[in-house]
Structure 1
Amino acid sequence: MAERIGLALVGVGNVGRRFAKLLARKGETLRERYGLELALVGVADSSGAALAAEGLDPLTVVELKEWGQSVAAYPRYGRPGMAAVDLVRQAPAQVLVDASPVNLRDGQPGLGCVREALRRGMHVVTSNKGPLVLAYDELMGLAAESGVRLAFSATVTGGLPTVNIGQRDLVGSEIVLLEGVLNLTTNYILTRMAEGRSYAEALAEAQAQGHAEADPSLDVEGWDAANKLVILARSVLGCPATLDDVEVEGITGIGPDDLRRAKAQGKVIKLLARAEKTDAGYRLSVRPTPLEANHPLARLTAHQMGVVYHTDINGTIMAAIVEEDPLPTAAALLRDVVNIYRGGR
């Protein structure tokens, strides 16, 4: 008999909606392969919530959002005006799935929801970088005190298991250099500009395809990649870094002449996140970097992200993903939920 796991989902945007669809699409697989029945018992967006111990229909949640409505309009179980943190307090859930928007000012609403869930003894799975960047030590401490898991592989490079590779597969290794193209928006823009499009044209394409927000500043100024680098520094490198420790330069100063000059030299410009081990620790940076054309990250196409781990005993490991929409990020949330109940395998 399958073990029933109640989920509370906060955030029903691009990632959250796809996660809800996966619950419906993969339900039979999860029961048969892993003995798990994942039940959506609560969901919240910016206008309210829906709450039902017997479970909500994930596809009804998706339909409401695609019709431009709040989940608070869910028949019978809708709770207009209910705050996300109140849903976390009341939902009969064992796991919080946080797909709320990134907020680097104060981390809300995600940070408050994650804190409350951990204090309640709920596992937390998140795609939201904000709480980890702002309060990593506090949240990991709360998880340890409550004897629960805080899983966040979806926060870095979407569906690519960058965090998992570093934490699980490189045990015993010293990572002497980490390199990554961690932001899809900037990689898309730079790749299209190298093909002859202007910055404005490439950005408009990225926005039309859902890779870039209406305000792309977090991406194009390099801060999204810096956030991800901080998470990798804390979780994989054991480096107590903050955003203040990262040298950050975005792509807004890169023009056609820079790309042509790099190409003439046999190089490709990528927004490169880098953590290099020094005698004093790790030096962290995010900046546009001309890479030799045979560098693994130079070969990434417009819809790809990738990471390279240079180690002392495990050689050099490169992994990449083609992520044309947020489905792999939603799948990473699902992966983390399942792995919690499989003992982290």
Structure 2
Amino acid sequence: MTPTTYRIALAGLGNVGSTVLAILHREAQSLRKRYGVQFLVTGVAELGGGALDSNGLDLGLLLETLQAKRPVADLPRIGRPGMVAIELLEQAKPDMLLEATPVNLEHGQPGLGLVQAALQRNIHCILANKGPAALAFQELASMSDWGAGWGSDFNPDFVSVTGYKRPPKLRFNACVAGALPTTTIGSRDLAGCRVQRMEAVFNGTTQYILRAMEDGQSYAEALADAQRRGIAETDPSLDVDGWDAAAKLVIAANAVLGQATQLSDVEVQGIRTLSNATVQQELASGQRIVLVCLAELNGKRYQLSVKPIPLPLDHPLCRITPDEMAVVYYTQDVERLSIASSEPGPEPAAAAMIRDMLDIIRSDFERNT
């Protein structure tokens, strides 16, 4: 069978973006055999430039260049010094945009503008950058397949604000705790159930720090250790102040709980002020402090918060390792459903992006048959 070819543009060549390239390179034959698809990466962009080839970039060459910490823009013939990510949409002519640029939770740029421009051009979008979905979910939904709604809100005659009767698809599983299928479980596997409560550990940095503090390290020592290991950023504010977790909770509230939500709707408290004495005292009393993302149904709306909370040691969120993230759903009919994933590096998030790409292809196939 001749594989169906999909042209791919990738914005962002950091840890997640480069790992996506590595998976596509390694699994090219498997993807053709198992799914009948061939992904042709026709353009990539990073800060300072990019690379283009309408016949498909040599992924091995790109990976060697990134491993050597050289700019892809310097590559002969295919390098494009000074090219910005939005030029990918015109020059790479992609069927799908993979957005993995750095997160900005103030205004979402440049990722938000790039995703908006792609959807305007009827290009499917797969996000690892949570900024666009956290800051502008409802707008992006109106430009994509999410705007058609679901259940009683489903509109089979939906036409996106961009005028497409068959609007482009938007996927963002990698934005909500990497490989953890938070939105898939909540919206598909619990379909028909009314979620009454959702609890989650959505931030790996704070999970690592809190567990290190249980072992006797101070907050400052645990943070410094996390930074040395590459778990925490040089500026860890988004993580330790709770905003990274809050952004993921906002996406889950919009996508799973069906509640239009912004960051300002979430009560946020980080872990900076916790002492290891407090953490160890709770542990001695049979509880473990966890930075909990909580959505709890109160009447017709969910109350949303991100806070360090002591939980009993037999709670699912207390049984995960320092490298894991997890989500627990509670409904009337499924009393409790919990799932955890190990997230020691960028591979799980990259794998989630590949999963989203295949989901888009599958949904296109189902619609065409």
Q: TM-score range by the shorter chain?
A: over 0.9
- Does residue 96 of the first structure (1) align with residue 97 of the second (2)? yes
| Partner-residue secondary structure (3-state), 2:143 | helix
Structure 2 counterparts to residues 1-345 of structure 1, below 5 A? 1-144=2-145, 145=160, 146=164, 147-343=167-363
| Partner-residue secondary structure (3-state), 1:125 | strand
- Structure 2, unmatched stretches of 5+, are 146-159
2:156 is matched with: none
Post-superposition CA distance 1:178-226 (Å, at most 9, x none): 0000000000000111011222222122222222111000000000000
CA distance in 1, matches of 2:229, 2:128: 20
AA in 2 matched with 1:262: E
CA distance in 1, matches of 2:30, 2:216: 45
CA distance in 2, matches of 1:274, 1:65: 39
Percent identity of the aligned residues?
46
Asked if the contact 2:240–2:271 (Cα under 8 Å) also holds between the matched residues in 1, the reply is yes
Deviation of 1:343 after TM superposition, in Å, equals 1.6
Post-superposition CA distance 1:57-76 (Å, at most 9, x none): 12222222222222212221
AA in 2 matched with 1:37: Q
AA in 1 matched with 2:359: N
Asked if the contact 2:213–2:280 (Cα under 8 Å) also holds between the matched residues in 1, the reply is no
Deviation of 1:280 after TM superposition, in Å, equals 4.2
AA in 1 matched with 2:67: E
Post-superposition CA distance 1:20-69 (Å, at most 9, x none): 10010111110000001011100000111111110001222222222222
AA in 2 matched with 1:190: L
AA in 2 matched with 1:121: N
Post-superposition CA distance 1:131-155 (Å, at most 9, x none): 0111111111111423111000000
CA distance in 1, matches of 2:128, 2:282: 34
Please, what is the CA RMSD of the aligned residues? 1.2
Deviation of 1:93 after TM superposition, in Å, equals 1.0
CA distance in 1, matches of 2:337, 2:267: 24
Task: Report the TM-score when normalising by structure 2.
Answer: 0.91
AA in 2 matched with 1:180: A
Post-superposition CA distance 1:102-134 (Å, at most 9, x none): 011221111111111111111000111100111
Deviation of 1:284 after TM superposition, in Å, equals 0.3
Aligned residues: 345
CA distance in 1, matches of 2:208, 2:280: 17
Task: Report the TM-score when normalising by structure 1.
Answer: 0.97
